[in-house]
Chains A and B, each alone.
Chain A
């Protein structure tokens, strides 16, 4: 199987960006803020598992 690290990294960054935007839009709504935080925790792991490997 072929893996394209750069494309995966771009998607991870896009998720991070849109999640931060969602968190901002939902500021004051606990369920939006907490779930966005949870998504960002998984983004953190994806960045270590994938993005960090780019030269």
Chain B
């Protein structure tokens, strides 16, 4: 096997022919099924009647029942061993680290790892960081208290494993973090898109221009979906290459952007990725069609996850990537299925508001969308906070342009409310810019 450029974490795996990747994934899927059935009481029951050796093709994979998040909650609730219940597929004394989901959509799900499975999670993140250009010469700043959430723990340990010098920037105010990044001359940053934008705002208040006065050359974002318009705005304001990745507490990080910045490469053959259609949530769909992603981590042996319905809307790209990686690439399109609403007969995803605002209105510092019900009619209100340097005389024109662009993009009419400076919440980890007040 001959390779020339050192642009891959694992040049052998990342350039394997697709047929070979698929063979390995099918074999690993069978092994994962076998292990899950043997060691997890939840899956022993759920997969009753399914013989791993019968899974020979991707069509066979699609016949295996999907796992929903609610099932994970139910399998943990009130069951032994405490916290993990019927899902756990290793002896509890082998566990070495605890994480949990944020609880945005319900009771948190607890996801532990053994030392071995955690090292694998970290190695998978190395694939993501390496593709994003992180190298041993980087000094990486992480402006977060990592807490019980997996994202920045993975990033921290993966950067360390790559040989980067990691600066944990938790426990500081935003201003102190910016000062620290300047002091240590950090060259790379891990961030949520929201906090990346917030730091720009705070840095400017401090008289610091991130592009001119800091040395950040690359940034990887985690924690929330990032529309392309937000990514481009971050690149412009930070003067850095900004990369996205996809991950979650349950599967860990599973896809990342390469230097081409066109979609995200699934880290194959560590994950078996499928797409199903939006209507039935079960029928497989081909590349180029928008649907919902289903993922199976293939080697992380602690809590099995078979065909996990991520409920994230995506599309697999049809084209091959000039970077030479042979893995499939996905684009995140339209946010989460849970956030989709049918308003006045039109499907609405809150992510379109972010696309419009971040892509076309740099004057907007922060925003939130509120859905209410007035008599029988649902009403969408966009609350915006303008940059303090914008004079009130410009508000009328801006309001009208924002409403017009939103109407074109979403086919819906928005009410618009201007909020005084600092009046809207600022987020660090998961943002919550859509509030549905019609829900009881």
| Residues of B400-426 contacting chain A, CB below 8 A | none
Report the nearest B residue to A45, measured CB to CB: B123
| Residues of B96-129 contacting chain A, CB below 8 A | 115-116, 119-120, 123
| Contacting pair B115 A41 (CB below 8 A) | yes
Chain A residues with CB under 8 A of B299 = 48
- Flag the segment in A1-9, A14-22, A23-31 that touches B: A1-9
Quick check: is B91 within 8 A (CB to CB) of the other chain? no
A3 to B4 CA separation, bound complex (whole angstroms)? 11
Report the nearest B residue to A38, measured CB to CB: B115
Chain B residues with CB under 8 A of A53 = 12-13, 16, 20, 24
Report the nearest A residue to B24, measured CB to CB: A52
A40 to B2 CA separation, bound complex (whole angstroms)? 29
| Residues of A30-52 contacting chain B, CB below 8 A | 37-38, 40-42, 44-45, 48-50, 52
A52 to B269 CA separation, bound complex (whole angstroms)? 10
| Contacting pair A45 B3 (CB below 8 A) | no
Chain A residues with CB under 8 A of B11 = 3
Quick check: is B10 within 8 A (CB to CB) of the other chain? yes
Q: Smallest distance from the beta carbon of A48 to chain B beta carbons, Å?
A: 5
Chain A residues with CB under 8 A of B24 = 52-53
Report the nearest A residue to B124, measured CB to CB: A45
Quick check: is B1 within 8 A (CB to CB) of the other chain? yes
A38 to B116 CA separation, bound complex (whole angstroms)? 7
A-B contact count (CB 8 A): 39
Q: A1-B3, A3-B1 are in contact. Are A44 and B116 (CB under 8 A)?
A: yes
A40 to B116 CA separation, bound complex (whole angstroms)? 8
A47 to B20 CA separation, bound complex (whole angstroms)? 16
| Residues of B12-37 contacting chain A, CB below 8 A | 12-13, 16, 20, 24, 28
| Contacting pair A44 B12 (CB below 8 A) | no
| Contacting pair B120 A45 (CB below 8 A) | yes
Chain A residues with CB under 8 A of B12 = 3, 5, 49-50, 53
Q: Smallest distance from the beta carbon of B237 to chain A beta carbons, Å?
A: 37
Q: Smallest distance from the beta carbon of A22 to chain B beta carbons, Å?
A: 17
| Contacting pair B120 A44 (CB below 8 A) | yes
Report the nearest B residue to A37, measured CB to CB: B115
A37 to B24 CA separation, bound complex (whole angstroms)? 26
A36 to B1 CA separation, bound complex (whole angstroms)? 32
| Contacting pair B2 A1 (CB below 8 A) | yes
Report the nearest B residue to A3, measured CB to CB: B1
| Contacting pair A49 B123 (CB below 8 A) | yes
Q: Smallest distance from the beta carbon of A33 to chain B beta carbons, Å?
A: 12
Chain B residues with CB under 8 A of A5 = 1, 12
| Contacting pair B116 A41 (CB below 8 A) | yes
| Contacting pair B10 A49 (CB below 8 A) | yes
Of B3, B10, B13, B119, which contacts A42 at CB under 8 A? B119
Cβ contacts A to B, 6 pairs, < 8 Å: A1-B3, A41-B116, A41-B119, A44-B116, A48-B270, A49-B123
What residues of chain A have their CB less than 8 Å away from a CB belonging to chain B?
Answer: 1-3, 5, 37-38, 40-42, 44-45, 48-50, 52-53
Given contacts A3-B11, A52-B28, A53-B16, 11 further A-B contacts (CB under 8 A): A1-B2, A2-B2, A3-B1, A3-B3, A44-B119, A44-B120, A45-B119, A48-B299, A52-B24, A53-B13, A53-B24
